[in-house]
A = this chain, B = another copy of it.
Amino acid sequence: MANIRTVASEAGVSIATVSRVMNNHASVGRSVRSKVVTAANRLGYAPSVGKRSTSYLAFVYTGPSSFNSPYDAMLMAGIAEALDETEFDLAILNPQRDKKPDESYSQFFLRKGVRGVILRTTSGTRGVCLAIAEEGFPSVVIGSRFDQPDINYVYGDSLPTSKQAVEHLISLGHTRIGITLSLVEDSDHTDRLEGYRQALADCGTEPEPRLMYRVPAQRPDGAQLIKRILSGPHPPTALFITDPAVVIGAVNQARRMGVVIPEDLSIIGFDDGDDRNDMYPQLTAVCQDASQLGYESLSALARIVSAKDRDSVSVRLAVPTWLEVHDTTGPPPDSPVRVLPDGTRVQQQEQDT
């Protein structure tokens, strides 16, 4: 294992300077600091005392943390499972709390005694992931695709299955198929929209902007959505709801309004874990095993950290998703079902738009 002396000579500075960089002393000049960080990352340096060199890998939220979502819970389960097969321990790090503003990510991670990181992306933090990868610190991004080289990631490949989901609705006879998307443009939602587009394009249809709904990714937002679109003009007869929380809110709200699923409205949801099986009626869904994302990310990270030559390991892994057809999809009603805000149910005939 590289020690402070190796790093010093690699960077062409004294060991005192390396130590100062590792402890983020303000006195070190910018250019010297970045030379040292680069050398440390290249050599795979980690501070150590005798044998007790740290052997922590970290799970890092690049944005606000959200441990209570089913997605994150499944990630953790998979990470914990993979961890048991390695010699590493797991740390949970929150750079937002105590990374110093003038500190690079590598410095922060090294100061915490961490050897590699799994980056949990949230909206608007792709830049953070890129910055960390660029610094050369061992990292694997979980849940997002990247075009840039030299960035490792593991993501759920939902495009083809999303297409398949919409094709399923088309084959049932639906022509007014809505899609819900989150407010943020991440690669997951881009993929799901693209699957929707492709399925429609294959049968010569243009996506209709009025059938594309942007909603925050919470359960109450799913309920709101259903109220809004079923009371408006020209509602869809089927919905592809691309978020696991939103679909739960939506299905329950529909039933509260007396809308029968799938007779009045077909719904295809998205499931990160096992939720589809705990719903009644059982949910037709694009399924992803989020625990597998966690498992694969941690395994990959362990390989990278343990590798002789880290740059030789490149991880770009697409974990398959799959479609499960259950009880929330069926043929469309003769005409779209509307429910007015006062609860009146209107089954209108198709009209010009």
Residues of A within 8 A of B (CB): 23, 47, 49, 51-52, 54, 56, 65-70, 72-74, 76-77, 79-80, 83-84, 87, 89-94, 97-98, 111-113, 219, 248-249, 251-252, 255-256, 273-274, 277-280, 291
Closest to A279 in B: B252
Contact for A56 among B69, B91, B111, B255, CB less than 8 A: B91
Tell whether, in the assembled complex, residue A67 and residue B56 are in contact, meaning their CB atoms are under 8 Å apart.
no
Tell whether, in the assembled complex, residue B47 and residue A23 are in contact, meaning their CB atoms are under 8 Å apart.
no
Task: Return chain B residues, CB-CB under 8 Å to A23.
Answer: 51-52
Tell whether, in the assembled complex, residue B248 and residue A278 are in contact, meaning their CB atoms are under 8 Å apart.
yes
Tell whether, in the assembled complex, residue A91 and residue B94 are in contact, meaning their CB atoms are under 8 Å apart.
no
Tell whether, in the assembled complex, residue B73 and residue A83 are in contact, meaning their CB atoms are under 8 Å apart.
no
Tell whether, in the assembled complex, residue B273 and residue A252 are in contact, meaning their CB atoms are under 8 Å apart.
no
Known: A97-B84, A113-B113. A49 touches B47 (CB 8 A): yes
Known: A92-B90, A92-B92, A279-B252. A70 touches B73 (CB 8 A): yes
Distance of A97 Cα from B89 Cα, bound (Å)? 10
Tell whether, in the assembled complex, residue B278 and residue A249 are in contact, meaning their CB atoms are under 8 Å apart.
yes
Task: Return chain B residues, CB-CB under 8 Å to A67.
Answer: 73, 76-77, 79-80
Contact for A80 among B56, B77, B89, B94, CB less than 8 A: B94
Task: Return chain B residues, CB-CB under 8 Å to A76.
Answer: 67-68, 73, 76
Expressed in whole angstroms, the minimum distance between the Cβ of A292 and any Cβ of chain B is 12
Task: Return chain B residues, CB-CB under 8 Å to A113.
Answer: 52, 54, 113
Task: Return chain B residues, CB-CB under 8 Å to A112.
Answer: 89
Tell whether, in the assembled complex, residue A90 and residue B89 are in contact, meaning their CB atoms are under 8 Å apart.
no
Distance of A97 Cα from B278 Cα, bound (Å)? 32
Distance of A112 Cα from B88 Cα, bound (Å)? 10
Tell whether, in the assembled complex, residue B80 and residue A74 are in contact, meaning their CB atoms are under 8 Å apart.
no
